[in-house]
Amino acid sequence: MENVTDRVSNPFGMRPPSHPAVHGYGDANADFQFIGESPRAHGGTETGVPFSSDGASRVHELLGDLGFVESRDPLRLRNAFLSYVRLTDTDPIDDAVRYFDAELRGINAHVLVPLGDFAVRHVIGTYTARGPKLRGTPLEDLHATEVHGMGFLVIPALDPRDWDKEAYEALRDELRSVLDSDYRQTKGVATRIG
């Protein structure tokens, strides 16, 4: 695989009009992309690392359990990338989505893990054909399930601030199962067809 970049933060040099922004962070060649809502929801304004607020930092614990963490201080990830649908809390949603979409396509992960209702609804509605069908489905019912998308496998998850032991373990076990499978087969189908 060709190395996209060695930069772990803002690998594509995104410059949203508003600040402070919390850019994508991690391995730009990752197969797994963990997606949250925004800095206000999940933190990172002070650290520059998504999911670093109280509660949301459980994502970092999950990454460690799955073997994605090379080092903790500073955080270095292998095969995982962290991002938000909104890099800032002030940019209009249409602008925010453009940055997110460009970054998502640049990372080109096989597995998308949206965390929390806003991210789950956006990812399922934009990157799968199942958005209308799943619109009324409670997030609790979607948590740690597989939704096949347009070139992506989507694993929706509850907001990490709401994880209890059972929710954490369900997501961890589902992601381990995906890691042990041939998850890379999700790519190419959509790109060959359309």
Domain residues for the domain of 41 are 25-193
pLDDT tens by residue, the chain, 194 residues: 455 556 666 566 666 666 677 888 999 999 999 999 988 888 888 888 999 888 788 999 999 999 999 998 888 999 999 999 987 777 777 777 888 898 899 889 999 999 999 999 999 999 999 988 998 999 999 999 999 988 899 999 999 999 999 999 999 999 999 999 988 765 554 443 33
> Would residue 86 count as lying in a domain?
yes
pLDDT value, residue 158: 98
> Would residue 146 count as lying in a domain?
yes
Q: Where are the beta strands (DSSP E) in the chain?
A: 25-26, 32-36, 69-72, 75-77, 80-84, 111-114, 147-148, 153-154
> Would residue 1 count as lying in a domain?
no
pLDDT value, residue 86: 87
Q: With contact defined as beta carbons under 8 Å apart, do 187 and 151 qualify?
A: yes
> Would residue 17 count as lying in a domain?
no
The domain tally of the chain equals 1
**CATH number, residue 73:** 3.40.470.10
The reported pTM is 0.88
Q: Where are the beta strands (DSSP E) in 85-144?
A: 111-114
